[in-house]
Structure 1
Amino acid sequence: MNEAVIPSLTMVRRIKAAPAAVFEAWIRPEILARWWGPHHTMVHTAEIDARVGGNFRISLVEDSGARHTVSGTYAEIVPEQRLVFSWAWEATAELVSRVTVTFRPVPEGTEVTLVHDRFANEATATRHRRGWTESFERLAASFETAA
């Protein structure tokens, strides 16, 4: 009997900033709003209760005006080291996936590893890869311009 393979994605990016600063960029709404989302979007609202059992809710607006809201619950928070949270888009709230982000100090700053798993299908994983890739580009750029 074959087990179904549940689609996932893993991304690694080095950010030129200390782990504490990069971690804060993920849990402080005013910082997250500067970088979160693909290039053609901006954060409209970000609500974050960064504690185990706490929730987040982020609304994005596309250049076209379309709005998308994602939310989830924090399952694990280890300051400057690890975040684990559920992930569900408001339009497809029944499709809950999981995001794990780890922060590792390296000589040039922080190595961030993101694992987003439990996708409903490969197409969903592919769309999220694009969004996370562009979000990481924006995150890295936010620290380069702040330096």
Structure 2
Amino acid sequence: MTISSSETITKEIYIECRPETLFSFFTDPDKLVQWMGRHVLLEPRIGGKYRIDINGSDIALGEYKEIVPHERIVMTWGWEKSKLVPPGSSTLTFQLTPRDKGTLLHLIHSDLPATEMASHTQGWTHYMTRLEMLAQGQDPGVDPWSEAPMSSND
């Protein structure tokens, strides 16, 4: 008998921009590619697919499951060619809540294998920092992770 456990990553960050502005960084490929990946294809509608080529080797694939403009995005998440986290095997939720003069971004990444928790936590910490800088009008520069493969994603 094989027992597999699934884990959840939860992260929260306050970003000094309106929810409308922040929301566009998840639905506009020209904006998303500034904080994650080197090539991005998005179909931001229910059932629409996305493809985020991080570095020419690590490619995230999934589908939009729920979109509430300026409030919430739910999508499946996985890695092309991965046996541990194949496309569609985990769920990613971005909740945007107006707070003071900005937005509280709450990320929930669920249904991850326990063995993938550390790498995905590191990844979301990296990308949320880049998103925060960009959404607040700063230039995060070229993503250093876009230059070389992150891991085997097996």
TM-score by length of 1: 0.84
Deviation at 1:4, TM superposition (A): 6.7
What does residue 82 of structure 1 align with? 72
Residue 109 in structure 1 maps to residue 102 in structure 2: yes
SS in 1 for 2:31: helix
Letter in 2 for 1:10: T
Deviation at 1:45, TM superposition (A): 1.0
Letter in 2 for 1:44: R
Question: Superposed, which structure 2 residues align to 1:1-147 within 5 Å?
Answer: 5-36=5-36, 43-61=37-55, 67-92=57-82, 93=86, 96-120=89-113, 122-146=114-138
Tell me, in whole angstroms, the C-alpha distance in 2 between the residues paired with 1:104 and 1:86.
21
Deviation at 1:126, TM superposition (A): 1.5
Letter in 2 for 1:85: M
Identity fraction in percent? 27
What does residue 144 of structure 2 align with? none
Task: Work out whether residues 21 and 135 of structure 2, in 8 Å CA contact, stay in contact via their aligned partners in 1.
Answer: no
Task: Work out whether residues 13 and 106 of structure 2, in 8 Å CA contact, stay in contact via their aligned partners in 1.
Answer: yes
SS in 2 for 1:58: strand
SS in 1 for 2:104: strand
Deviation at 1:139, TM superposition (A): 0.6
Count of residue pairs brought into register by the alignment:
134
Unaligned runs of 5+ in 2: 140-154
Deviation at 1:144, TM superposition (A): 3.0
Tell me, in whole angstroms, the C-alpha distance in 2 between the residues paired with 1:77 and 1:144.
23
TM-score by length of 2: 0.81
Cα-Cα RMSD: 1.9
1:60-99 CA-to-partner distances (Å, cap 9, x unmatched) read 11xxxx6210010111000000011100100212671000
SS in 2 for 1:67: coil
